[in-house]
Chains A and B, each alone.
Chain A
C-alpha cells in the first residue's frame, strides 16, 4: 500500500500539472478568439519591483492590470434574469437587503474599445466640464466643483476607453452578435445585483470584476516594457529607476491582447508609438 501510495502521489502531481498545461495549450492553440490592441489607458502598470542589488534600481512587476469603465446603464432586470438572477422580491421582505444578499454569478462580459458608449461618456464629460467652467466664470462655483473640473479633465486623458456593453451566458452567441474581434473583447466575469430606484426596490446589474484582470507578462514582454519605460524621465533622485509616464504619455503605449479558446487572455505584444492617438 505504502509504495503504491507514494507512486500514486507522484503520478497525481504529474497529472494535475499536465492537465493545467494541456488547458493552457488548448487556450492558446489555433486562431485567437479575440485580438485587440489597447493603450496604456486601458492596461495599467501596477507596480515596480526593487531589484535585490540596490533598492533604487527598479523594474516593472510581472503583472499589468486591465482597466475598464464600471458604467453599464443598460444592465437592467431583463439582463439580470437572462444571466440567471431571480429579480422577484418576495412581498413583505426588505427589498434592498434581499437584493444585497444575492451572490454574484459568473457570465461572459462583452467589452467594447472606443465604441459609442465611450463616445457618449466623453461627450457628457466635456459638457459637464463646460457647464462647470461657465459657472466658474460667473463666480457661482463651489470649492468641491473646482476639484470636479480638474478630475473630469484628467479622466478625459487617462480613463480607460474600454466599456462593458453586453453580457450573456453563451459566449459563442455573443461573438455572433459582436463579430468584430479587434474591437469587442468577450471575457468571463462576475456580475452582481444592486438595489436601485426609489427605496432600493428595483434591481440593477453591475460588473463586479473580470475573472482575469491581472495579466502576467512573459519575460520578453517584461523586458520590452522596462526598455520602453527607461526612455522616459526618471523620478528625481532615483537614477536607476525606470521612467514614469505621465497620463498624457500613457496612450502611446500599445498592448496587444489575445483571448484564446477558453476566453483566457495573454499579452501578445507591447510597443511604443510616436504620437499619442
Chain B
C-alpha cells in the first residue's frame, strides 16, 4: 500500500503539531483542575478524551507520530542512530573496495561499480515502501550516494580518464532526486555539499584555474554558501524542513570561510596584504553574523538566529584568544571571557524580547 507520509511531509508535520497541542491541552486541563479553576463535566471530559485518543491512535497508525515525550526522545535517538548507520555503512563500502580492489578482475570491478548504486537505490525504494517514518531509507540513500561517488571516481581511475567537475554535478543531481523523492534530509545535505563544491570549482574554472584547487580560495565558498542560503527562499510546500537545511548548510559555509580567511589572509582573492585581509575578515565575521542575527529575528527564522549566534560567539572568542592569551595573565584572560559572557547574556536577553512580539 502506498504510504502518504513520504508523499505529504507537510501534512505529517501539521498532524504532529496537532498531536503536540492535544498533549499540551490535557496537561493544562490537569493543572487548571488542580488549581480549581476548571471543572469539566465527567461526561464531556470522557467524550473529549475518547475523541482525542481516537485521533492520536489514528495519527499514530497513519504517520507513526510521537504522541508522548518519551516517544519523541526515542525518535530523536533513532534519527541519530540512522545518521551514524548511514555514515558507517558508507565508510564500510569505501574500505571494502579499498582493501580488495586489486584482487578483482576488470569485469568484476565494473560490475561492482555499476550495480552498487543501482541496488542501493532499489533498496531505498523497497524500505521506503515499508517504513512509515524513514529510518532505514536515509542509510541506504547515503550508501547509494557514496556508491555513485565511488563509481565515478574508480571508473575514471580504471580507464585512465581525466577528473572532471561534472562528477560533482552528477552527485548533486542524484542526491537531489533521492532527497526530493523520499524527503530525505541527509541526502539533501550531501547534495548541497556536492553542489557547493561544484559551484566553487566552477568559479575557479571560470577564471581558468584548475577545478580541483577549489579549496584554495575560501571566498568561493562564501559566494556558493550565499547562493544556497538564497535558494531557501524557493517555496517548499511539500517539504517544510528543507528550507532550514538550505539555510544551515549555506550559512555554515559562509561563516566557516570567513573564520578561515580571518586567520589565513593569503588565501583571499583580495589584492591586499594578507594581514590586512585577515583584519578585514575578522571585522566581517562580526558584521555578517550580526546582520544574519538581525535578519533571523526579523524573519523569525530560529535556525538562522541560532547558527549566527554560535558563530558570533566563535568569532568573538577566537579574537579574544588571539589578542590576549599571550599578553594577559590567565586569570585576567578568563575574567574578560566571563565578562564577555555576561554581556552576551544581556544581548541575548534583548534578542529574546524582540522575538516575543506577535507572530506575523
Contact = CB atoms under 8 A, between A and B. Distances in A.
Mostly, the A contact residues are mixed
19 contacts: A1-B181, A6-B121, A12-B177, A20-B156, A61-B102, A84-B208, A90-B271, A93-B273, A103-B204, A103-B217, A104-B210, A105-B209, A212-B162, A215-B160, A216-B160, A262-B162, A263-B162, A264-B159, A264-B161
A177 interface: no
A90 B204 CA distance: 21
A219 interface: yes
Nearest to B101: A62
B148 interface: yes
B170 A16 contact: yes
Contacts of A106: 210-211
7 nearest CB pairs, A to B: A5-B181, A49-B102, A211-B162, A84-B208, A103-B209, A103-B213, A6-B125
Nearest to A259: B160
Interface in A6-44: 6, 8-10, 12-14, 16-17, 20, 23-24, 27
B209 A16 contact: no
A93 B114 CA distance: 52
A219 B162 contact: no
A264 B162 contact: yes
A51 B162 contact: no
Given A52-B103, A216-B159, 12 more contacts: A4-B181, A5-B177, A5-B181, A8-B177, A16-B170, A20-B155, A49-B102, A105-B209, A211-B163, A219-B105, A262-B162, A263-B162
A22 to B, nearest CB: 12
Contacts of B217: 103
Interface string A112-149: 00000000000000000000000000000000000000
B38 interface: no
Interface residues of A, number: 48
Interface of A: 1-2, 4-6, 8-10, 12-14, 16-17, 20, 23-24, 27, 49, 51-52, 61-63, 84, 90, 93-94, 97, 100-101, 103-106, 188, 190, 211-212, 214-216, 218-219, 262-266
A20 B274 contact: no
B103 to A, nearest CB: 6
B266 interface: yes
Interface of B: 2, 6-7, 101-103, 105-106, 114, 117-118, 121-122, 124-125, 128, 144, 148, 151-152, 155-163, 170, 173-174, 177-178, 180-182, 204, 208-211, 213, 216-217, 266-267, 271, 273-274
A236 B89 CA distance: 41
Contacts of A101: 266-267
Contacts of B114: 17
Contact of A94 (B6, B106, B117, B273): B273
Given A23-B161, A62-B102, A104-B210, A5 B273 contact: no
A12 B161 contact: no
A1 B173 CA distance: 16
Contacts of A6: 121, 124-125, 181
A103 B274 contact: no
A106 B165 CA distance: 13
Contact of A97 (B103, B122, B208, B266): B266
A36 to B, nearest CB: 15
Contact of A105 (B155, B157, B208): B208
